Amino acid sequence: MSSPLLERARAVIPGGVNSPVRAFRAVGGTPIFARRAEGAYLHTSDGRRLVDFCMSFGPLILGHAPLEVLAAMGEAAARGTSFAVTTEAEIELAEEIVSAIPSVDRVRLVNSGTEACMTALRIARAATGRHRILKFSGGYHGHVDALLVRAGSGVVGLAEASSAGVPREWAQQTLVARFNHIEDVARLLGQYGHETAAVILEPIPANAGLIPPAPGFLRAVADRAAAAGALLIWDEVITGFRFGWGSVQTIEPGNIRPDLICLGKIIGGGLPVGAVGGRAAFMDLLAPEGPVYQAGTLSGNPVSVAAGLATLRRLKAERPWPELERRTCAYVSELQRLASAVGLPLSFAVRGSLFSVIFAEAPPACFEDIPPTQSEHFRPLFQELLAGGVYLPPSAFEVAFLSTAHTDAVLESTLPVWRRALESLASARHDGSVGGG
Ligand SMILES: *Cc1c(COP(=O)(O)O)cnc(C)c1O
C-alpha cells in the first residue's frame, strides 16, 4: 500500500523512514505519518487522532508535549542550543541520576541508547583486557555491531550477525544465552569466562514482549559474572525511571549493583539522549581521565538536558509509578477478560506502565518461548486496532507504553475498539483464515 507522503519519503529516505520499524513492514499496511501529538494522542497527517500506546517507544512517560518540559526546553533553547562546553544543567542531570541509582558514582551523557551500550562495552573491554560479550536472546541494545547478533545454529553459544555489514568475526565475539536459563550462562562462562569482558542484559527485558526475570535469576547472573571476572552491564534504556525513581536495582530484590548501566529514553524527556553510568573506577577509564576514547559534538546538549531534567523533576515530585501501575493492571485485566470472552488464547504480560500481548496460553519466560506465529497473529490485531484509532507499537515484539496522560477515561474509550478487534480475530480463526497454533 502507498500514500503520497510515503512515495515522497521513499524517493529520498531509504524505505521512507529514519528507523526501520516505522515502515510497518512487520504489520503491513501503510505507515502512519505524524503531524502533532498531545497527552495520550497522536494526530496523523491524514487527520486521524490515535490513542498512542507506542509513545515513541518509551521516552514519553509524561505523555506527549507536557507543558513544563516544553517550557524548560524553550528557555534552554533561547539561551543557546549548543555550546560544546559544560553547562550547570548537565551537572544537575548527572547529580539527579547519581543520587537516584545506587551503583552510579559518575555518569557520561551521550546522544542515544545505542551509544550508551557501545560505550559500556568499550569500558568493559578496557577494564578487563578481554574481548567477548555475553548477551541474552531477545535483548535489544541498539544497533551496535557486537550486539546486532542472534543466537547461532546451536541457540546457545557463539552468535551470528543479525545484520548485513557486521563481520562474522565481530559477531562471534558475542555469546548468546537464553533469558531465565542460568544453566546457559553457567555453561558459556564455564567455557569462555576467561575471555568475557561483560555480561549485558535488560534486567526486565522489554524488546521481546515483556519478560519478567524469574526469582533469583538476576542475582545468579550477577554472581556468575562476578565469579568470571566479567563486568555486569544492565541496559536500562527502557526500564530506567520507568518503574520507580531510578533503576530496577532499587525495585527488584537481591540488592544487585551492576558495574555499569545504560540509560536513555526517559532521561531525555523525548529528546535524543543516552547515558552510561557506574562506579568511579570504571567510569574514570573514559577520556580525558583514562585511555578509553569517547566523545560527542552534541553530547549533553542543553535542550535535551533541559527536557530530561524537567521530566525527572516532575517524576520525583509526583511519583506517579503506583498510579501508572494500577491503571495499567486494571486495563490489562479488562483486555484479558475481552480476549477470554471470545475464546482467544492471548496472554498479557504487565509490569508498571508496560504491557505486551503474546499469542500463547502463557507469557514467555524467554525469547524462545514466543510462538513462531506471533507476528502472523499480531498483524490483524494491530490493523483492526489502528482502524479503530488505537495505535500499538508496529511490531509483534515491542511492548506497549502507558504514560501519565493515559487516564482511566482515555483507556476506557479504547475498550470497544479492542472488543471489536478481538471479536473479528476470533471469527477469522473460526473461518480458518488465520493459521492455528
Ligand atoms: C531503545 C533501546 C536501546 C537503543 O536506544 P536508541 O536511543 O534507540 O539508540 C538500547 N537498549 C534498550 C533496552 C532499548 O530499549
Closest C-alpha residue for ligand 1 atom 10: 141
Closest C-alpha residue for ligand 1 atom 5: 113
**Chain segment 262-274, per-residue pLDDT in tens:** 999 999 999 999 9
* Range name among 38-52, 162-176, 293-307, 346-360 with the lowest pLDDT average: 162-176
C-alpha cell at 299: 553530547
User: Which residue in this structure is represented by grid cell 518461548?
Assistant: 369
How many percent of the chain have pLDDT more than 90? Answer: 90
pLDDT, residue 157, reads: 78
Strand order in the sheet with 354-358: 347-351, 354-358, 400-401
Cβ–ligand 1 contact at 142 (below 6 Å): yes
Question: Is 46 known to be catalytic?
Answer: no
Angstrom distance (rounded) from CA 241 to CA 316: 10
pLDDT, residue 433, reads: 55
Cβ–ligand 1 contact at 139 (below 6 Å): no
Mean pLDDT taken over the chain: 95
Cβ–ligand 1 contact at 234 (below 6 Å): no
Closest C-alpha residue for ligand 1 atom 11: 141
Do 213 and 239 form a contact (C-beta atoms < 8 A)? Answer: no
2 band by pLDDT with thresholds 50, 70 and 90: low
Residue 242 has phi, psi (to 5 degrees) of -85, -35
Q: How many residues does the chain have?
A: 437
253 band by pLDDT with thresholds 50, 70 and 90: confident
Q: Which of 235, 259, 331, 369 is catalytic?
A: 235
User: Which residue in this structure is represented by grid cell 568499550?
Assistant: 122
Ligand 1 nearest-atom number relative to CA 57: 1
Q: Which domains does the chain have, with CATH numbers?
A: 4-61+320-431 (3.90.1150.10), 67-318 (3.40.640.10)
367 band by pLDDT with thresholds 50, 70 and 90: very high
Question: Is 391 known to be catalytic?
Answer: no
pLDDT, residue 437, reads: 41
**Chain segment 96-132, per-residue pLDDT in tens:** 999 999 999 999 999 999 999 999 999 999 999 999 9
Cβ–ligand 1 contact at 304 (below 6 Å): no
> Residue range 204-224: average pLDDT?
96
In terms of C-beta density within 10 A (0-12 exposed, 13-18 middle, 19 or more buried), how is residue 2 classed? exposed
Cα radius of gyration rounded to whole Å, the chain: 21
Tell me the pairing of strands 149-151 and 274-278.
unpaired
DSSP, collapsed to helix, strand or coil, labels residue 237 as coil
Ligand 1 nearest-atom number relative to CA 113: 5
User: Which residue in this structure is represented by grid cell 508535549?
Assistant: 65
Question: Is 265 known to be catalytic?
Answer: yes
Q: How far is the CA of 385 from the centre of ligand 1 (A)?
A: 26
Type and span of the H or E element at 430? helix 408-431
Q: How far is the CA of 300 from the centre of ligand 1 (A)?
A: 17
Angstrom distance (rounded) from CA 332 to CA 347: 10
pLDDT, residue 429, reads: 83
**Chain segment 187-203, per-residue pLDDT in tens:** 999 999 999 999 999 99
Distances (CA, A) of 400 to 55, 86, 342, 416, 426: 8, 36, 22, 18, 22
Which residue from 115, 118, 137, 140 has its CB within 8 A of the most atoms of ligand 1, so it is best to mutate? 140
pLDDT, residue 153, reads: 64
Q: Which of 135, 192, 259, 265 is catalytic?
A: 265
Do 201 and 132 form a contact (C-beta atoms < 8 A)? Answer: no
Give the list of residues 6+ apart from residue 164 with CB closer than 8 angstroms, or none. Answer: none
Tell me the pairing of strands 157-161 and 149-151.
antiparallel
